[in-house]
Structure 1
Amino acid sequence: MTTPELRSRIESSPLYNRDLAPTSVEQRHWGTYNFAALWISMSVNILTYMLAASLVQGGMNWKQAVATIFLGNTIVLAPMLLNSHPGAKYGVPFPVLARASFGVLGANVAAVLRALVACGWFGIQAWIGGEAISTLLATLVPGWKNFAYGAAVCFFVFWLINLAVVLKGIEYIRILQGISAPILLGVGLLLLGWAYHAAGGFGPMLSAPSR
């Protein structure tokens, strides 16, 4: 069977559509820097800072908080790498990959469950992003804090910003992440400098006992 015949046979299958087709080699523009930028964006962000702060506020010292976060990330790292490898190397999307484990019908369940988790996680991120926008507006416009629906409005503004980015496609996300990753690292260093100055040095910061 020739390649065009094989392609025609696959495309005529009810299990095939363009959204589920593997990404061709020509469409794969993600390199080492792009994947590194992705990991930086996932790790160096306000949610990570909030997690570390909540652990310290809950009674841990900095060593215990760092160890807890490191252990948690290490536990999820292995399955994440195994799950993402076929997509990164061969361009196979998750719903198709899931068919090997769950079957054609079972893969739909896995995809829906993953989508539900993503919706919940995006809701958390959108709320925090909306809170950031609301705080910024309250700083620039003092009367904004008296607006009863300000937080909800900012939530939907942040939601629309994310939607606009997603609609532009994965290539736009790749470029945006490549730009934002160094900025996130720079902001993290600035926050470290601020904490150093506010605490009076690294000594008081690192010697704080657990409660």
Structure 2
Amino acid sequence: MEIRNPSPGLYNEDLAPARERRWGAFSIFNVWTSDVHSLWGYYLAASLFLLCGSFVNFLLAIGLGSLVIFALMNLIGYAGEKTGVPYPVLARASFGVWGANLAAMVRAVVACFWYGAQTAAAASAVVALLIRNDAMLDFHKNVHFLGHTGLEVICYVVVWGLQLLIIQKGMETVRRFQDWAGPAVWVAMLILAVGLCVKAGGFSFEHGIPMDQLLEKTKDAGVSGEPGSFWALMAVGATWITYFAALYLNFCDFSRFAKNKDAVRTGNLWGLPINLIAFSLVAGVTTIAAFKVYGEVLLHPEQISAKFDSWVLALIAAITFAVATLGINVVANFVSAAFDISNTFPKVISFKRGGVIAALIALVLYPFAPWEGNAAHFVNAIGATMGPLLGVILVDYYIVAKSNINVAALYQEHGEYRYEGGWNVNALVATGIGSLFSTFLPNFTNLLPAWWNIYGWFIGVAVGGGVYLVMATLRPRHATVTAHA
């Protein structure tokens, strides 16, 4: 739809409702292949596999978790398809035309953290290849700055720069890139799994990893009970669901370009439960085979490829995994941060400039590397910050507004979504209370048990959404009736 006379501080061409909707089910499917098929996705799946203790437990926990992910992505995806607007604009309906900047910037900061983590993972795949050369290995061992080796810094900056080239071409280039990058890593993953199974003497669902090694590898996960226990499986499912916390918010950045609702649902079906379970299965098989071949628990695919005798195979693996990780960065982090930052000052910050700002923030974060350490802990800590936002948005869209959004008013400073001076106090209070229990108390005090962090995102969604529903009942907004989407 065309927006007539929008307020200058709320509009630019990138934030406007999507005019062309060319994304079919295959493109939506490849949003997920690009998002899941990465070094971090593999690392997390392999780490969670250790917590399950057996393949049956692993498939049960990942399978049920993937169904929850599918349901949640459909909820936010349908909102994007119906309204045609990106996440920061959709958030204006819940938080107010100015309050949405708060919701957008929380997502943008998280995107910058994940952008750095994924870029570092892609760079590590290149480093693993280069240190096969003696001169590069010597440089890697002896030159250090910014808290990393010189080779790691150089590879990080190169990979960081390549992503800028993709994003500068716009969303259609992003779509074409993900349509190629996502399937490519499937080929590499299967080659890796089959090759290792052949070396291991056959395919096996039994990992045979001694319990002492499982306990050693999972000791920092914050899970009570040993691998394979009920609480360990609960933690696996919770962490897997929380891994997608960022995209629950901004999947509408992509679904807004979908041809119709069926394209969203079909793409999500193949890209989420089916693809997630298959990818996790391959990660588990590869972890088992690698242990049998090398006698080590190798959670990173670049650690495995570094042991290949063949330079050619190592090169293919490094390039494929690096490209796949670029894919998730562009899809999950670059796009979101670009829209979110653009939303703050749309007159001067375009989608492309927003992406550059996000990339620069990730570059500044690199020396501190907050993403290094335990995978599950990082995922849960980052994800918990976004739970209250999702709770508020879903309750507002589906229960309070009953799926009716006045799209034109989203771009009007003095329209329906002005609330109190541009801020919806109900949403702010609900988000604050939700964040108190999901993020601040478990991370900055000792008042709550250690396991609370694992379920922080869920607690944030429930508390934030619940408080918002109560406040919306006690303090209902005064809606105006105009054309709705």
Q: TM-score, normalised by structure 1?
A: 0.83
Report if the CA contact (8 A) 2:52-2:58 is conserved: no
Structure 2 counterpart of 1:9, from 5, 14, 22 = 5
- Match for residue 19 of structure 1? 14
Structure 2 counterpart of 1:133, from 101, 126, 133 = 126
Determine whether 1:189 maps to 2:190: yes
Task: Give the aligned residue type for 1:55.
Answer: L
Q: How far did residue 58 of structure 1 move?
A: 5.1
Distance verdict in 2 for CA 1:195–1:61, change over 3 Å: farther
CA offsets per residue over residues 139-190 of structure 1, 9 Å max, x none?
A: 3x32112222100111111111111111111111111111223222211221
- Match for residue 39 of structure 1? 32
Task: Give the aligned residue type for 1:115.
Answer: A
Q: Distance in 2 between matches of 1:105 and 1:56?
A: 43
Report if the CA contact (8 A) 1:61-1:209 is conserved: no
Report if the CA contact (8 A) 1:52-1:66 is conserved: no
Q: Distance in 2 between matches of 1:80 and 1:136?
A: 36
Q: How far did residue 101 of structure 1 move?
A: 1.2
Q: How far did residue 73 of structure 1 move?
A: 3.7
Determine whether 1:144 maps to 2:121: no
Q: How far did residue 208 of structure 1 move?
A: 2.7
Determine whether 1:171 maps to 2:172: yes
Report if the CA contact (8 A) 1:20-1:93 is conserved: yes
Q: Distance in 2 between matches of 1:79 and 1:59?
A: 24
Q: How far did residue 57 of structure 1 move?
A: 4.4
1:104 aligns to what SS in structure 2? Answer: coil
**Unaligned stretches of 5+ in structure 1?**
none
Q: How far did residue 7 of structure 1 move?
A: 4.5
Task: Give the aligned residue type for 2:41.
Answer: T
Identity of aligned residues (%): 36
Of Structure 1 and Structure 2, the greater helix share is in: 1
Distance verdict in 2 for CA 1:167–1:13, change over 3 Å: closer
Aligned residues between the structures:
201
Distance verdict in 2 for CA 1:50–1:102, change over 3 Å: same
Q: Distance in 2 between matches of 1:126 and 1:101?
A: 33
Distance verdict in 2 for CA 1:106–1:113, change over 3 Å: same
When structure 1 is superposed on structure 2, of 191-200 and 81-90 the one drifting more is 81-90
Determine whether 1:64 maps to 2:72: no
Q: Distance in 1 between matches of 2:86 and 2:117?
A: 25
CA RMSD of aligned residues (A): 2.4
Matches within 5 A, 1:143-162: 143-147=135-139, 148=143, 149-162=150-163
Q: Distance in 2 between matches of 1:161 and 1:8?
A: 37
